[in-house]
Structures are given as C-alpha cells and as structure tokens.
A and B are shown apart, each in its own frame.
Chain A
Amino acid sequence: MSKRNNNPMLPCWEKPLLLLASGLWVLALLLAGLAPARADALADALNPLPTVAMADMEQAIGKLAQVQDPRVGGVLKALLEARLFYVKESKRVVFADPKDDGFKLTDALTGEALGEVGRFDVKKIPITNALRTVLNSAIAKLELTAPDAKQRLKAVESIIQNPNPEALALLTKQVGQEPDNTVREAIQVALALSDLSGSDKTLRVQAIHALEGNLNQEVRNRLTALQEKTETGDFIEPDSDIRNLAAVALKKIQLKLEMNHLGEMLFFGLSLGAVLVLAAIGLAITFGVMGVINMAHGELMMIGAYTTYVVQLLMPNAIDYSLFVAIPAAFVITGLVGIGIERGIIRFLYGRPLETLLATFGLSLVLQQLVRSIFSPLNRSVSTPSWMSGSLEINSALSLTLNRFYIILFSLLVFWGLLMILKKTRLGLEVRAVAQNRAMAKAMGIRTDWVDAMTFGLGSGIAGVAGVALSQLTNVGPNLGQAYIVDSFMVVVFGGVGNLWGTLVGGLTLGVADKILEPYVGTVLAKILMLIFIILFIQKRPRGLFPQKGRAAEG
C-alpha cells in the first residue's frame, strides 16, 4: 500500500495536477498503467498478504484476483487449500507442503524451490469461511476456460450458486464454444436461471421449459420461490402464467426426485447392511459353526482397526496403498490372536456356554484396557485414502459416497471368499464335518482340535478384516468393538445360526429396514423398533431366517 502513495516514479510536478483532478482512482489508474513496466503486479498484490488485517483480507483477495497473470489461479487455490504460507522473518510468501516435521517451501512468485524449514519458521496465511466463498467464486471465474472439463463444470456450478453479472457475461460468451456436453448443459442452466429472474416474459417462459426436469438444487429453489406468498397472502410472483408453468415444472422435478430418493435410501440401507454383514460374518463362523459365544469378537475387530493405524504409521507416504497392506496384516494378526484365544481359553470351556461367555467378556475388557495402555485412551486418527473419499455423482440429486460404495463391494467379496473357503477347501470340508458331527468326524481321522483352532482363527481373521473396513467409517479407539458386538449377534441370530447366507441376507435386510424406518421415527426409535422386531421374529422362528434342517440342526 505504501508503495502506491510514495511512488518515486511520479514526477513532482504531477502532484498538484492530480490533486486538481482530485480522483484517487486516477492515481490508481495511472499506476495500473505503469505497474507492469515497473514491477510485477502479482507481487504487488501478493506481498502485503502476510501483514493485512483479517478485516481487509477480502479486499486484498479481490485485488489479487483482478491481476492478469497465469500464476494467480495457483496462488488463489493454494490460499484456499491452506498451502499459502509466509516465512516469519522475511515475510516472503511461499507455497508450503508438509514434509516430516516441517515444510518444503516453494516461492509463490518464481516457483523457485526454497528447501525445507521447521514448522515454527513459517506461518499460514489465515482464511475464514467468508473468504473461502470469495476465493471459490474468484477461482470459478478463472477456471471457466480451464482445459479440463471437470474443472470447467465445477466453475459453472459455483457460478450457478453465486451468480453475478460479470460471470454470467463470461458464460454467455462461453456457451457457443463449449465442446463438452455436460458443461454446456450446466452453462445453459445458469443462463436460463438468469433469464428467469429477468423481466422479459417470453424469455422467462423459455427458461422454465428449459429447466423442466432438471435436478439441480438451485433450479428447484428458484422454482419454489416463484410459488411463495408474502406475509399478506399475495403471491410474490405477480404473473400467474409463469407461476403455473413453474408449478408444472416443479411437479415433474419432484417426481424424479422421489425416484432418486428411493435409490438413495436403498443405497444407505445396503451400505449399513454391508457393515453389519462384515461385522457379523466372522461371528457367523465362531458362533454359528462352532457354537462359541465370543464376546471378544468386537475387540478382534478393534485389533484389526488398530492394525490399519499401525500400518499407516509405518508407511506415511503411501496412505493410498496402506489398506492393501492392512487387510492381509489384520487378517494374520487377528487370526493369530484368535488361535491364541482358542488354545488358551476356549478350548477348556467347550460345552459350557455360560463360562465361555463370561471368560470372553472378561477377555474383551482386558483387550480394551491393553489397547488403552499401549495406544492411549484417545482415538487414533486413521486417514482415508484419496480414492475412497468423496462421492460418485450419478446425477445432481443422487450421489453415492465412495467409501460406503467400496465397503459394500468389499463385504460381498469377503462373503464370497469365505463361502469358497468353506465349500472348496479341505479346511472348509473339515470345518463342516466337525460342525455337523464332532464324534463322527473324529472317528474319520479329522484332528478336531486343530480344526477348532483353525476355524476360530479364520473367524477372528475375518473380524480383523472387518476392523480395517470399520476404521474407514468410524473412530479407531478402545470402544470400537463394543459398538458392534450387539449388532453382530443380532444379525447372526436373525439370519439363522450356522448359515452364512442367512448372515448376508439378515444383515442386508436389517440395514435396509433400519434406513427405511429412520427418516420417519428417528435414529433412536428406529433402533428400538428393530430390536422389538427381532425379538418377535425369534419368537415365531427361533432358528432364524434360514434354519438348519435335518441332522445338522440337532448339533
């Protein structure tokens, strides 16, 4: 700022003249003309940022966005992503990327690499939500002409949400030469919306026709706004033709929306169901096949989740691949823990379900406290790989969150894998044999205690794998297991003890039913209703959805 007032290049005789003109903006204009020749306009706008007061930040950003320079977009984005820092001593503005315990710096103006510094040597240029909005619309304007169609689409959507005449003018220019279909459609929506708020009736009617069936939220809001009344009961929109047309268009949109809503609910239900299946399927093995009530099942999931945390600690630079390491690691570790539990405790308690229940419940408390002592009682932060964050957009009213989507796939995969193990492998055959008739299996030469240990290990390993999936959805902390143990038992009992298909169908059914109930009665009541439903169901069919038939049922 100070530079502008004491510009040494301004000849002294010019001063009275300027005062005469009495326009400060004249000075500014003059300087703007001079600036490119004299120095870097971007530097002028950028360098004051570290010292600007929070209240003047919006102005400073506005000024920065006005600079015609290809580097501006990068700087604005860095500011938005909290990557724009300044060096405390020199007040030099830099891009900073976290590296080990400090930052790797790049000069914001020249792009020159400045090496690494400690985290206390630099300070972030702070922004607030209000500034984020300003930044977003500034970036949107710049990105309208970006080479990437996705970026352009984002830019147009941002303009639809915060329209301003300047941006709309840009869009009008852009619409003819836009090569990408989706982007062009978005631009047309933006222009139609601006026509709608105009005063030309034919244009408005055209606009409403163009917007018919469009699922964009902004479109819906604007059309709804046309139906609203003022406090005195008059319509805000005086033209009844427009009002009626808008109502028709809105109805069509609502219908489409309902369909999408149904799809969304189904997805939510399936994803909740998939989590339930994942949590319960290990239990379906230990409880269903072996008849062991393992109250420490939840804690085995917790161990799986902590394995993910440790794996991520060990490979901090490859978070995106960490899950692929964590899944087998968790399987092996929890599998071994499971075998240990079976050999150390459960082996002595076969045929005494109450004692098993108490012993494993005690064990679950021990495991929890152990984790508290090793990892602290605080939750641990597990990062989500970038390919799992965000959502898959089907249309503007329906988008599926990616992490849930992958977890549905993953749970089906685990189910299929387990089914294959039980059906196609020797271990599976032996497991089924022992489950059906222990004495006879023994007589046929099967080492039943080895099979028991392996089965328990398998069930536990699956629990560990479920834990890896859960670490992507919920807290990784000592209480993780407790939250899922009741649900797991519920699914297994509902689906039918000893039947994997029952667990799958049971889990998914409960998930979908829960999500259908939730919007009507609330989360708390939905849970209660589900429990009541299961109690009644078990009264009617004590052996669950898919009861075992024939001789197997006796075991």
Chain B
Amino acid sequence: MKPFRSISNLLATATLWLLSSLLSTTALAEETIKVGILHSLSGTMAISETTLKDTMLMLIEEQNKKGGLLGKKLEAVVVDPGSNWPLFAEKARELLQKNKVAAIFGCWTSVSRKSVLPVLEELNGLLFYPVQYEGEESSKNVFYTGAAPNQQAIPAVDYLMNDLGVKRWVLAGTDYVYPRTTNKILEAYLKSKGVKDKDIMINYTPFGHSDWQSIVADIKKFGTAGKKTAVVSTINGDANVPFYKELGNQGITADKLPVVAFSVGEEELSGIDTKPLVGHLAAWNYFMSVDTKENAEFIKKWHEFIKNPKRVTNDPMEAHYIGFNMWVKAVQKAGTTDTDAVAKAMIGIEFPNLTGGVAKMNKAHHLSKPVLIGEIQDDGQFQTVWQTKGLVDGDAWSDFLPESKVITADWTPPINCGNYNTKTKKCSGQKY
C-alpha cells in the first residue's frame, strides 16, 4: 500500500501545484488590462505601421508610469499581420478570443480595416483606427481617429480653389478603395462648385508604380493649358517618391503646378531626397512642425522613448495618441473595460489635440480636428500655410455623394445605427 499512497500523494501535490499555478496565472491576468496592437511589422506596410506600434508601446508605458488604469497595469499584446489582409482578421480573432484584449489599436489600409470588421462585430471587440480614410462607414465597434474626407480632402480642395485660384484639377491616385472613393467624393464636390468635366482629369496607377514618365507628361500637358492647375494626389506610400522625382525632372515646380497629397507625411518624407518636393502641399490634421506646448512635449517623449532624436512624428501617431487617451478616459468613466460600456462612454469624451483645440468623439465615432495645409520644406518638415478656423467635425457619410447624402451615423439612442437613412427613417443594418 505504501507505494500507492506515495503515488496518490504525488498526484495530489501535482494537482495542487497545477491548480495553484493556474490560479496564480489567472490572478496575474486579472492584474493587467490587455491592449492589442494590430500593425504590420513586416511586408509592404511595415514602412508606415511599425512606427505606430512603437507609438502605442510608448503610450502604454507612459500610462503605466501614471499608475495604470482602474488600478491595474496595462499590458501590450503585439501581433504581426504581415501586410496580409486576411491575416489581419485572423490576428484580430486571436487578440479577442485568445488574449482577451480590452481594445485593439491597429490597421492602416482600408482593406485591412474592412477585413477586421466582421470579426470585431462578431466578437464585440473595439478597434481604434488611426489613419485618414475614405469615409462611407461607421461601425459600432470602431472608433475612427484619423480624418474623414471632409476633414482632409474637402478643405484642401477649398484652399486650392479659393486661395490659389485653381481652375483645373488632376485627381491622381493609387488604384484601390481609398483613392477611388475619395476621388468620387471630390469629383462630385468640384462639379457642385461648377467645375466642368473637361477640367478634371482622373488617373489611377497600381500600388508601387514607379514609371511615371507618361503620366507626368500628361499632367504637364493638362496643366499648362492656360488655367491654373493643381494635382490632388491620393497616391499611396512608396509610389510617391518616383512620382515627385519625375515631376522634378520634367521641370514641374510647385509654384506652377502644386501637388496636394493626402498620404504623404513626415515619416514618408524622411526616406526621400526632398529637394524636388519643396513647395508641394499636404493636408493633415497634424504636422510635427506645429508650435504648441503639447506637441513639443509629445515630440520630446517620442525621442526619449525611441532613443533617436532624428525620428519624426506624424498624423496617424497623433491619432493614436488622442485615441488611446480617449479610451483611457472612457474606461475610467465607465469603470470597466466592457466593450459596450466603454463604447457608450466614448461618445462625447474630449481630449486636447496636439495642434490646438480639443478633439471630441462624436456620435458617428469620428473626431473633431483642425485641418492644416502645409508646404513641404527642404528638411522634410511642413510649414503650415493655411488652417481651418476652429475644428471640423468628422462626417462618416459624405454629403457630396447622392447615395450617402441622406445617410447619417448616430450611435446614441434612439437611432443607434451606423447607416441611418434620414429620408426613410430606417437603419439599413448593413454589415461590412
């Protein structure tokens, strides 16, 4: 009997040990709140998204220094979807189901966001999306902290039209959903302002396009026909460098034919020889060069965190900064990290922008932000040449497209809908 007893003893201790270790891990898990970071660290988009991962780590570290959230420490869970759109959905599922994160901060391209959406709605997760995008979307589970078209594209066109007297328009973009939708909105907007068809040229190019000769030659021909012309560029990421180089080589300078870009920020410029770009424009809600106390502090913290005083800050980083701090405030207000409670608390939360003014989360899950237009300088920074008076409220559904004009998003009762048709008084309930 003796050996048996010892075995049962052993078993008992083993079970006890196992149980206790299990208990201790659950206890540990309860001590932290997990925050998911869903940004590509490899592949095409790594160029832009790696920085955002670092930004989130910095913000989380900072919040932990302040004592965490609800008395618990925050814990970052970093996954790498590798610029692979379906993988974004899988990784989001992993974050929500396996890691049980309270919120996800992530995505860059619209297609990655669209692929994550069904997972978020199914598992009722929260996503903070920090990049300017094409609008025409509002999900209960997503907070859009980047610019909607009316916070970037429309004001930029207004500036060109009113301040620079532009009469002819080239809408050049990369061939995917963001440029296509934005250009559709812009075309409708320009036409509503009396611009004729023959004064609008639309051109799409594939991702990473590098041979711009004939397109730039066409733009040059189009642009030198007597009327002041501007290029509105939704060309994405990499393709911009050869585009601007070609512009420079063909002798198109900013004072003759300005290009206003929606996807070129400080980070993208840091990999470019900026000489041929000087004077071209970009529209954002944030520039690193903006001179405010908050911004100076943010830049200082960033440089300390990343241990490289030459690194730049950019608009999506500010979006994460605002989004994260709003989430923190909302969790504190709700007293829990439960998705529904936090989502409800988020609406109306305010947090100061880095560029002045106070961002407010509106009922459509978009922010109010100032819109800045800057000229590229030879040091890769922007010099603000124009900005909106006050803040612009993000509009999920564009007012310039006939089909989305009648639709609004309002996530407060009684409407509680992301695509409410104000005419038929119905929520289409469309899922993405």
Contacts and interface: CB of A to CB of B under 8 A. Distances in A.
B377 A82 contact: yes
B272 A381 contact: yes
Contacts of B205: 523-524
5 contacts: A129-B279, A391-B249, A475-B242, A515-B213, A523-B203
Given A82-B378, A519-B218, A475 B249 contact: no
B132 to A, nearest CB: 20
B214 A379 contact: no
A378 to B, nearest CB: 5
B273 interface: yes
Contacts of B42: 369, 372, 377
Contacts of A380: 271
B47 A136 contact: no
Contacts of B29: none
B224 A217 contact: yes
B255 A136 contact: yes
Interface residues of A, number: 56
Nearest to B45: A377
A2 to B, nearest CB: 26
B238 A479 contact: yes
B214 A515 contact: yes
B270 A272 contact: no
Interface string B252-269: 011110100000000100
A217 B221 CA distance: 9
A224 B226 contact: yes
Contacts of A272: 211, 213
A66 interface: no
B213 A519 contact: no
Interface string A454-498: 000000000000000000011111110001000000000000000
Contact of B241 (A54, A130, A474, A478): A474
Interface of A: 54, 82, 124, 126, 128-130, 132-133, 136, 161, 217, 221-222, 224-225, 264-265, 268, 271-272, 275, 369, 372, 376-384, 389-391, 399, 401-404, 473-479, 483, 515, 518-519, 522-524, 527
B211 A401 contact: no
Given A381-B271, A475-B271, 17 more contacts: A82-B278, A129-B255, A133-B255, A221-B224, A268-B214, A372-B42, A376-B50, A378-B271, A379-B272, A381-B270, A391-B250, A399-B250, A403-B245, A474-B242, A475-B241, A483-B208, A522-B203
Given A369-B42, A402-B249, A479-B44, A378 B267 contact: yes
B246 interface: yes
Interface in B203-242: 203-206, 208-211, 213-215, 217-218, 224-226, 238, 241-242
B280 to A, nearest CB: 9
Nearest to B206: A524
Given A378-B267, A477-B47, A404 B242 contact: no
A364 B400 CA distance: 46
B299 interface: no
Given A377-B47, A515-B214, A524 B175 contact: yes
B410 interface: no
B225 A221 contact: yes
B225 A378 contact: no
B63 interface: no
Contacts of A403: 245, 249
Contact of B213 (A221, A381, A401, A477): A401
A130 B203 CA distance: 27
A372 B46 contact: yes
A210 B225 CA distance: 21
Please name the 3 residue pairs, one residue from A and one from B, whose CB atoms are nearest each other, closest first: A379-B271, A221-B226, A377-B46
Contacts of B271: 378-381, 475-477
A381 B254 CA distance: 21
B270 A271 contact: no
Contacts of A474: 210, 241-242
